[in-house]
Amino acid sequence: MVKFEQVSKVFAGGTVAVDNLNLTIEKGQFVVLVGPSGCGKTTSLKMINRLIEPTSGEIYIHDQKARSLNVVELRRNIGYVIQTVGLLPHLTVAANIALVPQLKGWPRAKCQERVEELLQMVGMDPAVYGDRYPAQLSGGQQQRIGVLRALAADPELILMDEPFGALDPITREQLQLELKRLQEQLKKTIIFVTHDMNEALMLADRIVIMKNGSVVQDATPEGILRHPANDFVASFIGRSAQPQAVEELEVKDVMNTAPVTIEPERGLGEALARMQQQRVDSLLVVKDGVLKGTVRARDLYPYLLRNEIASVSEVLSLVPVAVKPDTPLSVAAAKLMDKNTNLVVVVDDHGELKGVVTRASLVGVLLENQKSSQTTVENHVLKAAGGAGK
């Protein structure tokens, strides 16, 4: 689809922005170019639609030399989204989306149809938003329109230059998810530039990490997480607060710090009510912060059936498994499995209750840890769904 062959770009003044870049991007891939500012990622992107011309080397698009193609035609066939959105402020949302189709001479009715289809695709009502101006939209909505504008003429290739960089974190994540969904649905080839490693990990099929105009590592998100090519990549991943490896986690990293508790002098009826309210089958008995034991629902029933009045202290049993906050998570997990219990209690050296680790929280950690690779998560989900079906 796109091929860089020994491409270099030296700017006036001698700055080498891109240094002998070789890169082949296949059709349908979601490739993220990532790296610190000045690494040449944006320059590489802009050389594809010839907003910047390479100093040497050749870029091929569909096996044709980019520089041999008519630049206007080339650009009309490549979607382009930029960080500052770049919607034309004097045109309505509909007119902005229809820009490239209009440039390509689509009939008016077809343009309008396409605009409506695209707006509906991102859940924006064409009747409400079509006639608005960009200034009347929120930042997130504007960038949705920016993405739709790039999709409008149905190009096979879309270039995105830090499109979500200026958005607040919540909106950004929302748009990332939408983009990922759109890409899976539409199977476009997307080349996406960002300096945010988390964004790259979330979106990419393939990540190309760049530094000083060259490729440092080119691999799947999982490949990069598992086998960083060098210290630079490792620190780049580290800096983006990538989830820790499971092996390194300790109990305190994952424990639930607010388990459901009860004081020993409380009545059994109250204990039962609290269990029902919190949807748990056992309570931890705590006096002045110190763990005294646990009380299980099944221990309560005999008393309640006989209508006896008793306090929690009379029925509590000892906690089967306890660990310390700095116990490795793997040890806690092993105990969970061994004792066939639902939770492991975490206490410190003075016997004070610090939290609990449940089976559910372990699953959460594992999923979180695999989020690094979207496909892996999906595989898990698929396997889980398949397993449940059998």
Partner 1 sequence: MSQVKILVTLNKMVEYFAGNSSEIWAAISEHILLLVLVPVGLAVLVAVPLGILATRYSLLERIVMGLGNVIQTIPSLALLALFIPLGLGIGNKPAIVALFLYSLLPIMRNTYTGIKGVSPELKEAAAGMGMTPMQQLFKVELPLAVPVIMAGVRTATVIAIGTATLSAMVGGGGLGRYIVRGLQLMRDYLILVGAIPAAVMALLADYGLSNLERWATPEGLRLYNEQR
User: With binding defined as CB under 8 A, does residue 41 bind partner 1?
Assistant: no
> For residues 80 and 236, which CB has a smaller minimum distance to partner 1 in the complex?
80
Which residue of 29, 42, 44, 92 would you call a contact of partner 1, by CB under 8 A?
92
User: With binding defined as CB under 8 A, does residue 82 bind partner 1?
Assistant: yes
Q: How far is the CB of 71 from partner 1 (least distance, A)?
A: 8
5, 104, 113, 121, 209 from 110: Cα distances, Å: 38, 12, 5, 16, 40
Q: Name the DSSP letter for residue 373.
A: S
Q: Which amino acid is at 199?
A: E
Residue 119 makes CB contacts below 8 A (sequence gap 6+) with 93, 97, 125, 126, 129, 130, 148
Per-residue x/- marks for partner 1, 309-338, CB under 8 A?
A: ------------------------------
Q: Name the DSSP letter for residue 243.
A: P
Strand partners, 240: none
Q: How far is the CB of 84 from partner 1 (least distance, A)?
A: 4
Q: Rule CB under 8 A: which of 94-113 touch partner 1?
A: 99-100, 103
Q: How far is the CB of 188 from partner 1 (least distance, A)?
A: 16
> For residues 87 and 204, which CB has a smaller minimum distance to partner 1 in the complex?
87
User: What is the spatial distance between Cα 82 and Cα 42, in angstroms, rounded to a whole number?
Assistant: 10
Q: Which stretch in 23-31, 79-87, 350-358, 377-385 sits in contact with partner 1 by CB under 8 A? A: 79-87
User: With binding defined as CB under 8 A, does residue 133 bind partner 1?
Assistant: yes
Q: Rule CB under 8 A: which of 146-185 touch partner 1?
A: 149
Q: Which stretch in 72-80, 106-114, 190-198, 274-282 sits in contact with partner 1 by CB under 8 A? A: 72-80
> For residues 70 and 277, which CB has a smaller minimum distance to partner 1 in the complex?
70
- Opening angle at CA 340, ends 353 and 314, nearest 5: 50
Q: How far is the CB of 148 from partner 1 (least distance, A)?
A: 13
User: What is the spatial distance between Cα 20 and Cα 22, in angstroms, rounded to a whole number?
Assistant: 7
Q: How far is the CB of 235 from partner 1 (least distance, A)?
A: 31
Which residue of 49, 141, 183, 374 would you call a contact of partner 1, by CB under 8 A?
49
Q: How far is the CB of 130 from partner 1 (least distance, A)?
A: 13
Check: CB of residue 146 under 8 Å from CB of residue 100: no
Check: CB of residue 278 under 8 Å from CB of residue 358: no
User: With binding defined as CB under 8 A, does residue 354 bind partner 1?
Assistant: no
Q: Which stretch in 90-98, 165-173, 189-197, 248-256 sits in contact with partner 1 by CB under 8 A? A: 90-98
Q: Which residue, among 258, 268, 358, 334, has the nearest Cα to 304 in the 3D structure?
A: 268
User: With binding defined as CB under 8 A, does residue 90 bind partner 1?
Assistant: yes
Q: How far is the CB of 86 from partner 1 (least distance, A)?
A: 3
Query: Across the chain, where does the E strand assignment appear?
Result: 2-10, 16-25, 30-34, 56-61, 64-65, 78-82, 157-161, 189-194, 206-211, 214-219, 261-262, 282-287, 290-296, 322-323, 343-347, 353-358
**Helix or strand or coil: residue 202?**
helix
Q: How far is the CB of 15 from partner 1 (least distance, A)?
A: 19
Which residue of 3, 76, 180, 335 would you call a contact of partner 1, by CB under 8 A?
76
Which residue of 74, 234, 246, 304 would you call a contact of partner 1, by CB under 8 A?
74
Residue owning tokens 């979607």? 79
Which residue of 10, 16, 69, 91 would you call a contact of partner 1, by CB under 8 A?
91
Residue owning tokens 């991102």? 122
Q: Name the DSSP letter for residue 79.
A: E
Residues near partner 1 (CB under 8 A):
49, 51, 72-77, 80, 82, 84, 86-92, 99-100, 103, 133-136, 149
